Structure 1
Amino acid sequence: MPESINGAVDQPLVPPRHIAIIMDGNGRWATKRGLPRTAGHKAGAETFRRIATYCKNIGVKYLTVYAFSTENWKRSEMEVSAIMALLKRYLLEAVDTMEKDHIRLHFFGDMTPIAPDLRALARETDEITEHLSKDDFQANVCLNYGGRDEILRAARRFATDCAAGKKRPEELDDALFSSYLDSAGIPDPELIIRPSGEQRLSNFLLWQCAYSEFYYTDTLWPDFDEAELDRAIAAYQQRDRRFGGVKK
């Protein structure tokens, strides 16, 4: 684990329990180098592997990444196919290494439009995850995900349970509604990171980010490295999180 903030020995770097990242800038990274956008996604996938390993090693418990949004289907068929091919390759590797590396894998999002072979691989990783310790590091991959869509799907599930007599509308509170979300049972992220210079949420974890701290950097995702993550954690560590209260 990094020993300090900016080398200061009196301030040890303590990572948050849950970090979420909007993996942005793959296309621009490729364009700057005269490469096809697909090359940027490939480089971004390697960055994800490296950062996930680093998060596990420094004691982060959950890493949630925005891999493919509900809006990303608007991109070219070639680009979408390339992203899905990269995801399939990652899942095939994960199936072989999850148990050995003690890495749990979970998906957020509506998997209905996803190709059957990818859905089958996702189910296989879910089954492996069920057999791993809940104390192990967990990566959450947001696939065909949108924050509004997640909230709508949760509301529909709750309404269905009410219609079936399993729940009553007056029972609904924050905790109960959270149990219907894709992130059920997972603590909200303390820190959300967005590379690439953009400063917006882009429909990411809208319910869960209520009290998250945000860190923006101009670094494009393929260039995002361990030192950049250290800077994000250091910035987070210096925030005064009051959750709506006042500073004492």
Structure 2
Amino acid sequence: MSTLVITGTGTEIGKTVTTAAVAAVAVAAGRSVAVLKPAQTGVRADERGDADEVARLAGGVTTCELARYPEPLAPATAARRAGMPPVRPHEVAEAAAKLAVEHDLVLVEGAGGLLVRFDDEDGTLADAARLLAAPVLVVAPAGLGTLNATELTARELRRLGLDLRGVVIGSWPESADLASRCNLADLPAVAGAPLLGALPAGAGAYAPAEFRAGAPGWLAPGLGGTWSAEEFTSTHAP
């Protein structure tokens, strides 16, 4: 796996922190890592973006951003309102392929969910993943409502012939409610793919050294970590 596309079931669910954890584990294993953010929205030119945050937490990664739009909107809408060129799926694929030449692992972090539009021709992150023939990791929230959104995302990935590598819970609460605990068993069932990790709520606020030390324990071996879905689910089962 030289390229991994990371998407989510929505916004503000832990995609960037999950990307950072995957990157941190890979860097610790001695792999060279690049993080590609095709379209960063809602951030000024002088502010830190998602790729910068991954670099801060994971350390030792190459970052690449194809476009930045000031308003916190879907990339196609943000580009149109800013009067700026949109990012197109083939540009994402080309950038990732170039990074893959010089890096062991390229992480492509999308904006919002799988089908958020990049351009005025309905190009999406899914189109970029198809061009790359890259597996997709889905980041999902823990609680009530996550099953429907996760299953819809998984169904669309299968319809498009894309490889759903697994699901990661982007923010596991310190005191999980009943729905969250039940979802540990239900998420892999509705996704038809394994649960590959659970990041603790607030992990993005950890100091970089603490984050890097903790990352292997938040991700399953399929992502280079030591986390066990079976043990975690058994521990938190209702």
Shorter-chain TM-score above 0.5: no
Bigger fraction of residues in strand: 2
- Give the shorter-chain TM-score range: 0.3 to 0.5
Provide the TM-score with structure 1 as the length reference: 0.38
Provide the TM-score with structure 2 as the length reference: 0.39
Q: Which has the higher contact order (CA 8 A, sep 6+)?
A: 1
Give 1 or 2 for the bigger CA radius of gyration. 1
